[in-house]
Chain A
Amino acid sequence: MNITFAKYVLDPLVGEASSINVTIDGVTMSVPLDPANRHYAAIMEQVDSGTLTIAEADNG
């Protein structure tokens, strides 16, 4: 799973991060912050290993 981009996205209703926009194997996806989601698990594995950083969300 080649992750080349990751950025938090705000929930427009509550203004808090609710998903991560990522590019995986060249495809742009929206990944929920759910440990049961396999993409989220892979993202956090790479974050924990220091090979990926998730950019902060744009405000508003």
Chain B
Amino acid sequence: MSTINVNAIDKESGSTLTLGGSGTTVDIPSGATFDTTGATVTGLPAKSNIIINGGFDIWQRQISFTSTSVNEYSADRWRTEGNIHNTTISRQSFTFGQTDVPNYPTYFCRIASSSTVASGQYWGFQQRVERPQFMSGSGEYTLSFWVKASAPVSAGAFTFGIASMTQVSAPALTTSWQKVTATRTIASSGSYVSIYIVRLGEGQGNITVDIADVQLEIGSVANSFERRNVAEELALCQRYYEKSNNFNNYPGVGSFDASGMYLSRDGTASAVSRYNPVSFAVRKRAAPTMTIYDGANASGKISTDSALHGYSAGTSNNGETGVMVYGSGFPSHYGNYFHWVAESEL
């Protein structure tokens, strides 16, 4: 390698100075200062992943789902779409220290399809991106994620894409992680845009794919995955789904999780209904659907503070920031307790 010592390099003509060519690495040595003061710098990562929970770190509902329906949510913000198709969706852990997928993600999502999609039908695993709050304008967007399969998948047997499924990408998959990308111009309006990371058409299926680090960003470049801290990611998810249970306990299943439940000990000396105001940690997208669980994990029920279960529960005044939860049919002198879920998904 030769060294040229100069104080400035300038263009010969035109307005663009080019360093190297495609595939060239321009090395700024450690300890050097790259001074852009007063300059306009373009093309750097925008650090604005539009996808929420693209790293699959947040699973408030459960961490494994056997899906026999559609419009079902599993990992936060991710849902099934289309026609009924038997699948299993689960959270999986990366081996500590692995480097196949860069920057040490913790989890990935496994989607196992156990049959082929029937004629004239489709099944998708997607995220609906809220408009205009998270995707305000029309224009060019790039989707990227890491994917591998449990067995090689030929090109065309697995598809993904943005919004219009008339323009899908259908790469061949191997048992090794690879980054796939797709750039589309989105012109549609409406309250959301569908981002499909798996889309199976008729005759497709019977595959198991692992997916990690999903990113959607403005422009035509797939930059490195933007990994937000878990508290920030959870807050973004809670605009659409929030539970009173502790993070790793799941509503309506298993032993009752006493942590985080709402407990009122009013001692009312009569059998009148008890009213409990509940405030949410995060404002909801819209007035949420509320599910109330008693101490025996029954939905639509509430418990007395003496662990008598099965009293009728309901809500009123469901609003973006809170709700009134009531229980009725109580014997006198009892308070009440319950867990709650607030859901305002798209």
Q: Which of B273, B319, B346 contacts A12 (CB 8 A)?
A: B273
- Least CB distance from B6 to A in Å reads 62
* CB of B288 closer than 8 Å to a CB of A: yes
B314 at the interface (CB under 8 A from A): yes
- Nearest-Cβ distance from residue B254 to partner chain A, whole angstroms: 16
Chain B residues numbered 61-94 whose CB sits less than 8 Å from any CB in chain A: 69, 71
The size class of the interface chain B forms with chain A is 20 to 34
Give Cα distance in the complex from A25 to B318, angstroms: 21
Q: Out of A10, A11, A27, A39, which one reaches B299, CB within 8 Å?
A: A27
| Chain B positions 331-345 with a Cβ under 8 Å from a chain A Cβ | 343-345
B71 touches A31 (CB 8 A): no
Does A34 contact B291, Cβ atoms closer than 8 Å?
no
Shortest beta-carbon distance, A56 to chain B, in Å? 15
Residue B326 at the A interface, CB < 8 A?
Answer: yes
Q: Taking CB as reference atom, which chain A residue is nearest B290?
A: A30
Chain B proximity mask over A12-52: 1 for CB below 8 Å, otherwise 0: 11000011010101011111101011111000000000000
- Asked if residues A37 and B316 are in contact (CB atoms below 8 Å), the reply is no
Given contacts A1-B71, A27-B252, is CB(A34)–CB(B316) below 8 Å? no
Q: A13-B317, A39-B289 are in contact. List 16 more A-B contacts (CB 8 A).
A: A10-B316, A12-B273, A12-B275, A12-B316, A12-B324, A19-B316, A28-B301, A30-B316, A31-B318, A32-B288, A32-B289, A32-B319, A34-B286, A36-B286, A37-B287, A38-B289
A interface list, Cβ under 8 A from B: 1-2, 9-13, 18-19, 21, 23, 25, 27-32, 34, 36-40
